[in-house]
A and B are shown apart, each in its own frame.
Chain A
Amino acid sequence: MKREYYIALKTILRKETTRILRIWTQTLLPPLITQTLYFVIFGKFIGSQVRSINGIGYMAFIVPGLVMMAVISSAYGNVVASFYGAKFQRNIEEILVSPTPDWVVITGYVLGGIVRGVLVGVLVFAVSLCFAHPMVTHAWAVVLFTLLSSILFSLAALINGIFARNFDEVAFFQNFILTPLIYLGGVFYSIHSLPKVWQEISLYNPLVYMVNGFRYGFFGFSDVDPGVCLLILLGLTVVLTCINLFLFKKGIGLKN
């Protein structure tokens, strides 16, 4: 990589990280509180009445799902808020008038999403240890699926940020698409416990592959083969990367 590109990338990442840490009460604290409530209500109160799944207690079973849910929401929220904010305040023009190539800008924002996703994921996992002691069977899978999921949802958020014309359109995808996908993605249950037709419908939800790949890293088993999860996520990452590159090249949503 050319040295100038590296410096530009470092600058975007530094700016994003500074933002995440500067407004930590908006970026780090809320998911921590929300996930703690999930642990208390679903894990402790309701989970005690739910039978174990594949020999894993319900509280431990939902840990990977809840961590992944926090990672995804945080990575997505970071990129869409930061990028649309930059568009709204027009300081995205600082980058657009510079010689920074499109792929460096995309990578910079995605890295910002990864930083927040991983930070929140680690914090939520630390909190989960107060309620359960989930084992980590395949650490590589935990790391790989965390990174892939952060990348994938950061790329999706960037597309949302590019197309959004107002804050309503930023919230629309999060409220009406992302949230249902998360809740129907097997965070709180095994998709095998669903009726056959819903199992098949669930397979169209990318969240299922993230949660299951991640869960495989913890327990060594999952509803979907981890190899399939990996391939699907890699495929989606390539598709979303290409869409972003195309949008930047054409200047759609960015230039007049």
Chain B
Amino acid sequence: MNAIEIKNLVKTYKGGVKALKGVDLCVAQGDFFALLGANGAGKTTLIGILTGLVNKTGGQVKIFGNDIDVDFEGAKKSIGVVPQEFNFHMFERVQDIVVNQAGYFGIDDSIAVRDSEGILKRVGLWEKRRAIARTLSGGMKRRLMIARGLIHHPRMLILDEPTAGVDVELRHGMWEYLRHINAQGTTILLTTHYLEEVEQMCRNCAIIKEGEIVLLDNVRHLLTRMPQDTYRVTLKERISLEKAQAFNAVKVDDHTLDIEIKKREELNEVILRLAQSGFVITDFHPKGNRLEKLFLEIVSK
């Protein structure tokens, strides 16, 4: 049984805007799946339909085998949601927000209070449990949303751009936590603009463009489709334009080159050639995000 099975999903908003034009998509149980797309591509609409915040126009959606047209209640029990925008009551206390959410899922207070302690400790909010939500920092609010989404131990967590506007340290902390719950068996569906996030964490991904899935692939496999990578090389010595061109490189400044290396070429071959030409390499790293390049290529077609 798949975590998500979508067949020919259509959503047309009032006024005729077609947000989804017959989407077919399957997400396996236990997967860490990314849904990518430009703004307005249909990601949030798709998530809205899965979570009951948007009515679909047509098609079929099954969540862990539960058809949402037949048993949406059963389907919703398996889902935890972390939306893009803060949507908790700003004047409620942190622990109350989490415990109340458990209540909506039919979990007894005593269990909800006990579980909320564990989950708030895990996301580093236990000390703030009595704080009014409004007084939390942006990062803390984001973590509160994750704690709220997980309080009923869902089989699948859906996150809509969870790291938007989050600082680097917190983002890495969140990645670690999401990896941890995924390793424990929770399926994760993620939308994000940070393609580095996808490359680092996700196993499979889909790219949605103008309401249609234009690519569905394994992330590792996808990266191998890139014909070449660009590396930024910093040299101790100055390098002339002629020399740079000889290495099929773009000169960034007197000490820096961007070298395009084809997949079949060996990295150490390039390094060796530079060394033989008398250059000392002080830094060598991939330039930019590989997936980002591919993403831009696909969405700009």
* Stretch among B101-109, B122-130, B230-238, B284-292 lining the A interface: B101-109
Is A8 touching B87 in the complex (CB atoms < 8 A)?
no
- The residue of chain A having its C-beta at the shortest distance from the C-beta of B50 within the complex is A97
Once A89-B87, A90-B85 are accepted as A-B contacts, the answer to whether A7 and B53 lie under 8 Å apart by CB is: no
Is B83 touching A256 in the complex (CB atoms < 8 A)?
no
The yes or no answer to B36 lying at the interface (CB within 8 A) is no
| A55 shortest CB reach to chain B, Å | 50
Is B87 touching A91 in the complex (CB atoms < 8 A)?
yes
List of B residues within 8 angstroms of A15 by Cβ: 100
Contact of B88 among A7, A22, A91, A255 (CB under 8 A): A91
Contact of B104 among A2, A100, A250, A256 (CB under 8 A): A100
Interface centre among B13, B53, B79, B106 (most CB of A within 10 A): B106
Interface residue total, chain B, C-beta cutoff 8 A: 33
- In A1-43, which residues have CB < 8 Å from any B CB? 2-5, 7-8, 10-12, 14-15, 18, 22
List of A residues within 8 angstroms of B73 by Cβ: 99, 101
Is B88 touching A94 in the complex (CB atoms < 8 A)?
yes
Complex CA distance for A93 and B100, rounded to whole angstroms: 13
Is A94 touching B105 in the complex (CB atoms < 8 A)?
no
Is B103 touching A97 in the complex (CB atoms < 8 A)?
no
| A256 shortest CB reach to chain B, Å | 5
The yes or no answer to B54 lying at the interface (CB within 8 A) is yes
Complex CA distance for A32 and B170, rounded to whole angstroms: 49
Is B106 touching A251 in the complex (CB atoms < 8 A)?
no
Is B103 touching A93 in the complex (CB atoms < 8 A)?
no
> Quick one: CB contact mask for B87-128 with A, threshold 8 Å, 1 for yes?
111110000100011011111110000000000000000000
Is A7 touching B51 in the complex (CB atoms < 8 A)?
no
> Quick one: CB contact mask for B46-75 with A, threshold 8 Å, 1 for yes?
001001111100000000000000001110
Is A99 touching B76 in the complex (CB atoms < 8 A)?
yes
Complex CA distance for A12 and B52, rounded to whole angstroms: 19
- In A98-153, which residues have CB < 8 Å from any B CB? 98-101
| A25 shortest CB reach to chain B, Å | 14
Complex CA distance for A165 and B13, rounded to whole angstroms: 17
The yes or no answer to A224 lying at the interface (CB within 8 A) is no
List of A residues within 8 angstroms of B76 by Cβ: 97-99
List of B residues within 8 angstroms of A8 by Cβ: 103-106
Interface residue total, chain A, C-beta cutoff 8 A: 30
The yes or no answer to A171 lying at the interface (CB within 8 A) is no
Is B13 touching A256 in the complex (CB atoms < 8 A)?
yes
The yes or no answer to A96 lying at the interface (CB within 8 A) is yes
List of B residues within 8 angstroms of A5 by Cβ: 106
Interface centre among B54, B74, B105, B148 (most CB of A within 10 A): B105
Interface centre among A4, A101, A250 (most CB of B within 10 A): A4
Once A94-B87, A98-B105 are accepted as A-B contacts, the answer to whether A11 and B77 lie under 8 Å apart by CB is: no
The yes or no answer to B81 lying at the interface (CB within 8 A) is yes
The yes or no answer to A228 lying at the interface (CB within 8 A) is no
Contact of A256 among B54, B107, B108 (CB under 8 A): B54
Complex CA distance for A90 and B73, rounded to whole angstroms: 20
- The residue of chain A having its C-beta at the shortest distance from the C-beta of B73 within the complex is A99
List of A residues within 8 angstroms of B89 by Cβ: 86, 89, 91
Is B106 touching A97 in the complex (CB atoms < 8 A)?
no
Is B77 touching A255 in the complex (CB atoms < 8 A)?
no
Complex CA distance for A97 and B51, rounded to whole angstroms: 5
Interface centre among A4, A5, A22, A94 (most CB of B within 10 A): A94
- The residue of chain B having its C-beta at the shortest distance from the C-beta of A86 within the complex is B89
Complex CA distance for A97 and B156, rounded to whole angstroms: 13
Counting from the closest, the 5 A-B pairs by CB-CB distance are A4-B106, A11-B103, A98-B104, A90-B87, A99-B73
Q: Which residues of A contact B (CB under 8 A)?
A: 2-5, 7-8, 10-12, 14-15, 18, 22, 86, 89-91, 93-101, 250-251, 255-256
Q: Which residues of B contact A (CB under 8 A)?
A: 13, 45, 48, 51-55, 72-74, 76-77, 79, 81, 83, 85, 87-91, 96, 100-101, 103-109, 148
Contacts A15-B100, A99-B77 aside, 7 further interface pairs with beta carbons under 8 A come to A2-B106, A93-B87, A96-B52, A98-B76, A99-B105, A250-B55, A256-B48
A-B contact pairs, 16 of them (CB 8 A): A7-B107, A8-B106, A89-B90, A93-B87, A94-B87, A94-B88, A94-B101, A96-B52, A99-B72, A99-B106, A100-B104, A255-B52, A255-B55, A256-B45, A256-B53, A256-B54
